Amino acid sequence: MTKTQRQHRISELLEREVVSTAAQLVTRLQSEDISATQATVTRDLQELGTIKVRDEHGSRRIVIAMAPKMTAAPLDHLRRMMGEWVVSVDCSANLVVLRTPPGCAHVVASALDRSVLDGVLGSVAGDDTILVIASEARGGDSVAAEFRALAGFSEALVTVKKAK
């Protein structure tokens, strides 16, 4: 595993789990068969710009200083972005296509990526189109329905869109 891959995995762990020491992080990485010494993980934490904070439950935890999770509630942010910028949602198998006005796809994709929705593997944004890949277990229909709800689309709009 490369340094970049390890640091990416550390970032993911810090977003999703309460980790308060580098030693805990080393143990967590080892449980995933990722070998790293405490000194290496400590350097990684410094390079990632982490700090220790008390979260809303009073627990001490390591976070990335500019981590989006520590700002506004991600789902609320995604709801605002989708409601404001998404103009259509279509799907096929495990793929979902979101359309936005020109130049707006990256804004919605960024909010989507930070929201960590269940069953969403990732997204690719162009100028006015976002391709979202859903897990096979969840499927594109389910993810598209959630996106339509987040965007505030009415059932009438969804029916009209399917009729075309």
What pLDDT is stored for residue 113 in this prediction? 84
CA dist 9 → 15, 28, 48, 118 (Å): 10, 11, 11, 18
Domain architecture of the chain: domains with CATH: 3-69 (1.10.10.10), 74-163 (3.30.1360.40)
What distance in Å separates the CA atoms of residue 41 and residue 37, rounded to the nearest whole number?
6
**Alpha-carbon torsion (2, 7, 8, 12), positive or negative:** positive
What pLDDT is stored for residue 155 in this prediction? 58
Q: Does the global pTM surpass 0.75? A: no
What pLDDT is stored for residue 52 in this prediction? 87
Candidate from 43-52, 92-101, 139-148 with smallest mean pLDDT: 43-52
What pLDDT is stored for residue 124 in this prediction? 96
The long-range contacts involving 100-109, CB below 8 angstroms and separated by at least 24 positions, are 100/128, 100/129, 100/130, 101/128, 102/127, 102/128, 103/127, 103/128, 104/128, 105/129, 105/130, 107/81, 108/81, 108/82
Of residues 115 and 9, more confidence is placed in 9
pLDDT tens string 15-31: 889 999 999 999 999 99
CB atoms within 10 A of CB 18: 14
